[in-house]
Amino acid sequence: MRNGASLEQAAAFAGDQVRITAANHGFYVNFIHWHDMDPDGVIPFGVEVMEPLFEAMARGAGGVATAKVDYNQAVEYLYLKEAVSHLSVQNSGKHLALDIRLDKSRKVDYSVIATPLTLRLSLPPNRYPDSRKLLSHTSIHSIRQQDGFFYVNLNLNAAQDEFHISLPTTRRKQFYPAPAEVPHLTYNPGAQTVFSTIPSLFVLFRRAENAQNYEVEVAGRTITPSITYQMPYTEEGYRYFVGAITPDGESSMIEAGELR
């Protein structure tokens, strides 16, 4: 923290900045070394900072759809978004005809952009994106729904200048998670399995009994999103925790207890 601010003041400031960012549809950048030591050099300072900081930022975002990304993804998204010179959507019955044109004015290599572009769509009454067909579409990264709008994340090859995409729709009502939905985790000790309400990547952490909060080890991880995580063999003398993070960057954690 700077200028003698307390932890509470710093967290409140970060929350206010996120609130302002959400209101103007901009970007907010926050940077911290979690291992920075406290003024007395006793414990990694970032450990006690992170919880109130993230809680304040979540309150600042409120119910606004936000994306949590790294700096590279934020810059890629900005370059791709500002390059869109034309966007039109036409309803042709069972499909939405989407036309996009790019005007790439920056002197950068647009072909390396891998971050999806998010479109907010309003569909006619009783029409819904056909998730089964859409998610098998190579251009569709994911679909989210909030406040009557559909958020379609498109993978675009930004080396091209024009895109003509057909989005299939259906009259069958379907469920789509909200853009900023946090995974809810439950743990079944008998099956030694953690369940998530949203497909997520999982990380298994462990901490020796009586160890400090920051003395944590990574004991396992997954590389493919799933709604279940099967605990591996565990050792005595440790407490185990399972963290889950969604493709949208929302995360949560649950203690898995002392397993044998």
Q: What is the pLDDT of residues 214-230, one digit of tens each?
A: 788 999 999 999 999 99
Average pLDDT over residues 20-27: 89
> Which residue do the tokens 């450990």 mark?
47
By percentage, how much of the chain surpasses pLDDT 90?
Answer: 37
Within 8 A by CB and 6+ apart from 30, the residues are: 14, 53, 57
Contact status, residue 34 vs residue 50, Cβ threshold 8 Å: yes
Q: Has residue 125 been placed in a domain? A: yes
Separation of alpha carbons 35 and 43, rounded Å:
8
120 lies in the same domain as 193: no
User: In the chain, how many domains are there?
Assistant: 3
The H-assigned helical ranges of 62-108 are: 71-83
Separation of alpha carbons 50 and 213, rounded Å:
12
Mean of pLDDT over the chain? 84
- Who has greater pLDDT, 223 or 63? 223
48 lies in the same domain as 136: no
Fill in the amino acid letter for 96. L
- Residue numbers of the domain that contains 217: 185-257
Average pLDDT over residues 48-56: 83
Q: pTM for this structure?
A: 0.72
In angstroms, what CA-CA distances link 75 with 30, 113, 114, 147, 163? Answer: 14, 9, 11, 27, 21
In angstroms, what CA-CA distances link 24 with 66, 88, 252? Answer: 12, 23, 27
Residue 19 pLDDT > 90: yes
Q: What is the pLDDT of residues 78-98, one digit of tens each?
A: 999 999 999 998 887 788 888
13 lies in the same domain as 44: yes
Specify the range with the lowest mean pLDDT, choosing from 138-142, 198-202, 219-223.
138-142
- Who has greater pLDDT, 41 or 232? 232
Residue 35 pLDDT > 70: no
**pLDDT on residue 138:** 67
- Who has greater pLDDT, 164 or 233? 164
**pLDDT confidence of 140, banded at 50, 70, 90?**
confident
**pLDDT confidence of 259, banded at 50, 70, 90?**
very low
**pLDDT on residue 169:** 85
Contact status, residue 66 vs residue 22, Cβ threshold 8 Å: yes
Residue 171 pLDDT > 80: yes
Q: What is the pLDDT of residues 93-107, one digit of tens each?
A: 788 888 999 999 999
Backbone angles phi, psi at 83, to 5 degrees: -80, -15
Positions of E strands within the chain:
84-91, 95-102, 117-121, 128-129, 140-146, 149-154, 162-170, 185-188, 193-208, 217-221, 226-230, 238-245, 251-257
- Who has greater pLDDT, 199 or 128? 199
75 lies in the same domain as 165: yes
Q: What is the CATH number of the domain that holds 75?
A: 2.60.40.690
Separation of alpha carbons 235 and 62, rounded Å:
40
201 lies in the same domain as 154: no
30 lies in the same domain as 77: no
